[in-house]
Amino acid sequence: MQIININNIIDIIIQLFFISISFWCIKDIHLEKYIYMHENQFKLLITLLSIMIGFSCGSFFIWIINIFYSFS
C-alpha cells in the first residue's frame, strides 16, 4: 500500500478551493448581459473560465508556500 503524501492532499484542497471561489465570483458577474450564447454554452464557458482562473491562482499560492518551505 502506498503512503499518500500530505502535501499532495493540501495541494488538491487548495486547487479546489480556488476553483470554487473563482466559480462563485464569475457566476455573480452575470456575463450573460454582455455575451450572447446558448445557455449550455454559457454554463460551459463559466465552468472552463473558473477552472482556468482557479488553477492559476491555486498554483501561484502553492508556489509561494513552497518558496517559504525552501527557506526554512
Band of the pLDDT at 1, cuts 50, 70, 90? very low
* pLDDT, mean of residues 23-44: 86
The cell 482556468 sits on which residue? 52
Q: What are phi and psi of 37, to 5 degrees?
A: -145, 170
Verdict on whether the full-model pTM lies above 0.85: no
Mean pLDDT over residues 14-42, rounded?
A: 89
> What is the spatial distance between Cα 51 and Cα 16, in angstroms, rounded to a whole number?
9
Asked if residue 61 has pLDDT above 90, the reply is yes
Mean pLDDT, rounded, of the chain: 89
CA distance 56 to 15: 9
Tell which wins on pLDDT, 23 or 35.
Answer: 23
